[in-house]
Structure 1
Amino acid sequence: MPGPRQRRTASVDGDARELILDAAEELIAESGFDATSTAAIAKQAGVPKGLVFYYFPTKSAILTTLIAERLPAEPLADVAGLVVTGEPESTLVNLEAALNLRDHHSSVMRVIIWREAETHPAVRAHLRRFRTYLHDATVEVLRASSPVAVSARVLDSCATTWVAAMFSVASIDRLRDLDGTREHREDLGGVARVVAAGLEQLGAAGA
């Protein structure tokens, strides 16, 4: 499943660990974790099978490392710099751009997480932390950017809507990646305007 990311080779950077993770990411996204053997990962990476186990003592360690390092549960250390005071719409757009969930690499990793969450508890736990982080980060930037005081309930609803929208358009982008039509990107700006308008209207109404 070749994609926009250029596959590394040992002759390029000699980093066997990253080569192994690159290969695992590609093969697991394509065939699933259980159907991907360590031998196949080693072959794809162009390294001896023993080197795979040198870096990753178990096959499961490859999966957990891949997820932790390439789609961390808390990707942004600080979201304060994304806030535009009085402009929640611009703030939401800034948050989405900083998270970069629509990047091809991120979309491949989400395919892996959603697929493997069904059978791997550690992946489910990571997914829960990731969604919680996105929700909490959205609440934080909305509270800081809102021109009116807003209740916790309204912030929660708006954050839930925005996180769902981010995941939705990222999934659409992933399908378009597969079809080779990625240039037609969904516009999240309109959703940001709707969320911002709802935030202000409900806040002003004291909902």
Structure 2
Amino acid sequence: MRHSHRRSAKADGEARELILDAAEDLIARGGFDATSTSAIAKSADVPKGLLFYYFPSKPEILTALITERLPAERLDANELAVPGDPAASLLATYTRLNLSDHDSGVLRVILWREAETHPHVRSRLRKVQANVEHDIAAVLTACLGGKANRKAIAACASAWAAAVYAFASADRLADLDGLPRQSSARLRDVARMLAAGLGTPLAFA
């Protein structure tokens, strides 16, 4: 999908972006360790020497992807909170994050996969996760107007963030195999269950 703009990008001297495009695609498919700099250079259609000009070591490519291309989305609690309806508020955060379809979903695949072996990736992952959980908690707080305790809201936010990431991954796997996505209906059920745990009335219509 990104590859369609490579000819004009290269003509404009954007070799560095071509390299990152290629690295993102290849690392998401095969993992960082299994992706060679030769393969990245070939896919980007640039000389290997030019790759090393921009990225003197292979880990620097991964660092650039994680730090430059992963959007730091922040959720606006006032915009997304549905007063008195925490389930709807949670679903609004899922729609806004759009992890299943957003281009950054590819980067999140890389982020989660490479966190095991790369400390700087783990650091970035912790920051992303903390921001998402904090913002979901803020949305719930705005939704409930202080009617639920902070500990319950924090637990709900953590559980919802985990569910959103898990279902986004399931959607991407389904897409790869040409299978229908099933996350939407199941996420609604999870949202309702978590909202019930906050001690609020729910409409299951």
TM interval, shorter chain, is 0.7 to 0.9
Pairing 1:86–2:84 present? yes
**Counterpart in 2 of 1:163?**
161
Aligned equivalents of 2:52, 2:75: Cα separation in 1: 32
Q: CA RMSD in A?
A: 2.2
Q: Which runs of 5+ in 1 are unaligned?
A: 203-207
Contact 2:84-2:144 at 8 Å conserved across structures = yes
**Counterpart in 2 of 1:130?**
128
**Counterpart in 1 of 2:69?**
70
Pairing of 1:1-20 with structure 2 (within 5 A)? 5-14=1-10, 15-20=14-19
Pairing 1:32–2:31 present? yes
Pairing 1:150–2:148 present? yes
**Structure 1 residue 125 displacement after superposition:** 0.8
Q: Deviations over 1:16-54 (max 9, x none)?
A: 222211110111122221222222111101112232233
**Structure 1 residue 69 displacement after superposition:** 2.7
Contact 1:108-1:174 at 8 Å conserved across structures = no
Once structures 1 and 2 are overlaid, which stretch shifts more, 42-51 or 99-108?
A: 99-108
User: Which one-letter code corresponds to 1:113 in the other structure?
Assistant: L
Q: Which structure 1 residue ranges, 4+ long, deviate > 4 Å from structure 2?
A: none
Contact 1:148-1:200 at 8 Å conserved across structures = no
Contact 2:77-2:142 at 8 Å conserved across structures = no
Aligned equivalents of 2:159, 2:93: Cα separation in 1: 14
**Structure 1 residue 167 displacement after superposition:** 1.5
Q: 1:17 to 1:77 in 2, by over 3 A?
A: farther
Q: 1:77 to 1:169 in 2, by over 3 A?
A: closer
**Counterpart in 2 of 1:119?**
117
**Structure 1 residue 6 displacement after superposition:** 4.2
Aligned equivalents of 1:34, 1:6: Cα separation in 2: 23
**Structure 1 residue 161 displacement after superposition:** 1.7
**Counterpart in 2 of 1:22?**
21
**Counterpart in 2 of 1:205?**
none
Q: 1:99 to 1:69 in 2, by over 3 A?
A: farther
User: Which one-letter code corresponds to 1:154 in the other structure?
Assistant: A
Aligned equivalents of 1:97, 1:104: Cα separation in 2: 11
Aligned equivalents of 1:12, 1:87: Cα separation in 2: 48
Q: Which runs of 5+ in 2 are unaligned?
A: none
Contact 2:75-2:135 at 8 Å conserved across structures = no
Aligned equivalents of 2:145, 2:102: Cα separation in 1: 35
- With normalisation by structure 2, the TM-score equals 0.84
